[in-house]
């Protein structure tokens, strides 16, 4: 049976569960979410996996995230292990191409993936992004420049965008 390793990252906005497999990081939770939320999320893409707490297996991910949150890291150098539909994967790949400190709109991502009419589907795929900050969905804002929905909440989105403006 495959294992998902997890540990907790203490951040300014609350504790975040960080989850990884032997292949890479798979999930970063929302601030102060319960472990049950992590288990609910994992049931679909990682249904045959079990959980094991392991600070050692998750240390490299937490270390880079801590450096990012301190403003000391602009690009992550970590293996990623995500599962999604081909469309979701295309959207998440496009998000990874967004430069640090920049923003774009949902229609901008739709254009990046060659499907300019799929703006709502892009929004749904962004909402399903399991890896906060590393797959930088916080860099997507409304076409009018306003903050839009974010799985980890608007305060976390604003925090990440402000962090990247320094």
- The DSSP call for residue 137 is G
Phi-psi region of 117 (alpha: psi -120 to 50; beta: other; left: phi over 0): alpha
**Angstrom distance (rounded) from CA 129 to CA 159:** 18
Nearest CA to 49 among 19, 91, 89, 8?
19
**φ, ψ of residue 27 in degrees (nearest 5):** -165, 140
43 an active-site residue? Answer: no
* End-to-end Cα distance, the chain: 44
Which one of the listed residues 137, 140, 141, 156 is annotated catalytic?
A: 137
- The DSSP call for residue 16 is E
Token readout for 86 is 């081909």
> Which residues does the annotation mark as catalytic?
137
């Amino acid at each position: 049976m495959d294992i998902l390793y997890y540990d907790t990252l203490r951040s300014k906005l609350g504790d975040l569960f960080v989850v990884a497999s032997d292949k890479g990081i798979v999930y970063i939770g929302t601030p102060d979410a319960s472990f049950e939320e992590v288990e609910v999320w994992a049931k679909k893409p990682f249904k045959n996996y079990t959980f094991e707490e392991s600070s050692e297996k998750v240390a490299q991910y937490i270390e880079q995230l801590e450096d990012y949150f301190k403003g000391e890291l602009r690009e992550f150098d970590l293996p990623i292990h995500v599962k999604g539909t081909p469309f979701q994967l295309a959207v998440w790949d496009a998000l990874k191409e967004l430069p640090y400190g920049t923003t774009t709109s949902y229609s901008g991502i739709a254009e990046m993936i060659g499907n300019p009419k799929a703006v709502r589907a892009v929004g749904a795929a962004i909402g399903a992004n399991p890896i906060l900050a590393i797959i930088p969905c916080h860099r997507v804002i409304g076409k009018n420049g306003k903050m839009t929905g974010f799985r980890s909440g608007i305060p976390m989105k604003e925090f990440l965008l402000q962090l990247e403006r320094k």
